[in-house]
Amino acid sequence: MQTIRITTTQNIDIDYEVAGLGERIVAYIIDMAMFGVIIIATIIIAEATTKFRGGTESFWLGLIIIIYAVLYVFYDLICELAMNGQSVGKKIMKIKVISLDGARPRLGQYLLRWLFRIIDFLPGTLNLCGLICVAVSDKSQRLGDMVAGTTLIRTVPRTKMQNIAFKPEGDNYQPVFTEAAQLSEQDIELINEVINNYVKSGNSMLVYNMAQRIKDLLNVTPPAEMNNMLFLQTIIKDYSHIIAQADVL
């Protein structure tokens, strides 16, 4: 199991499990299979429309080629921008693009990854450039990832555990720290990442450092009997409950 250590903008070191070459290939095949379905469906619709309206086959064939080309060229860029670093294939394989600083990639990074697909996936080379780069690089990056400062990680750890973040609480739940409402969704995701990594690695310093930063940020002091792990779990519960109640109102 290959992992990479990323230092987030909050100076917290997180170990992510890198997406394997096989998972990338399967995700790519799924995405390409979608285009096969799209082109078949488009041809069927075009033929039916031609017969119904008396149009010319050459016109509809040209239109199909244009639609297909546009979808093929911009598919990954549009999906990754709209789906937080995932295409349909990546989502099914539970992998996603992240920046090497642990944050969601910026528009410029997505654009660089997309532009360098021309080199990584040249049809004449059977995509060998991208495959070789992923296989030999220490962070499993293709050339586009290296230039953009991104990589692909698994979104679900192989070590099974209940996902703590955003777990709904009962309506009668009383938040312990109402200050948790000051946090952002990204803050809560980072806390959850820290907890996940602690479960896998047993590195208690991750929990300690994260807890100290949240205490300082919110200016709160937990009860003496509340350890750092329980504090972080409580912050997640409080945030989830407060946000859920706000949505209802």
Domain count, the chain: 2
Query: What are the strands, taking DSSP E only, across 86-126?
Result: 95-99
CA distance 82 to 87: 9
Query: What are the strands, taking DSSP E only, across 112-199?
Result: 150-154
CA distance 17 to 155: 8
CA distance 169 to 188: 16
Domain containing residue 143: 3-154
- Is 89 domain-assigned? yes
Check residue 160 and give left, alpha or beta (phi > 0: left; psi -120 to 50: alpha).
beta
- What 69-76 contacts at long range (C-beta under 8 Å, 24+ apart), as own/partner pairs, is 71/35, 71/38, 72/35, 75/31, 75/35, 76/31, 76/113, 76/114, 76/117
Per-residue pLDDT of the chain (249 residues; tens, 9 = 90+): 577 777 665 556 667 788 888 889 899 899 988 878 877 877 777 677 665 555 566 776 777 778 778 888 898 899 999 998 999 999 999 899 988 877 788 999 999 999 998 888 776 666 778 888 888 888 888 999 999 999 998 876 544 434 444 444 556 788 899 999 999 888 888 888 888 888 777 778 888 989 999 999 999 999 988 999 999 999 998 998 888 877 655
Q: Are residues 15 and 91 in the same domain?
A: yes
* Prediction pTM value: 0.62
Q: Are residues 7 and 91 in the same domain?
A: yes
Q: Are residues 139 and 201 in the same domain?
A: no
- Is 190 domain-assigned? yes
CA torsion 168-220-211-164 (nearest 10°) is 0
Last residue of a domain, one of 154, 187, 212: 154
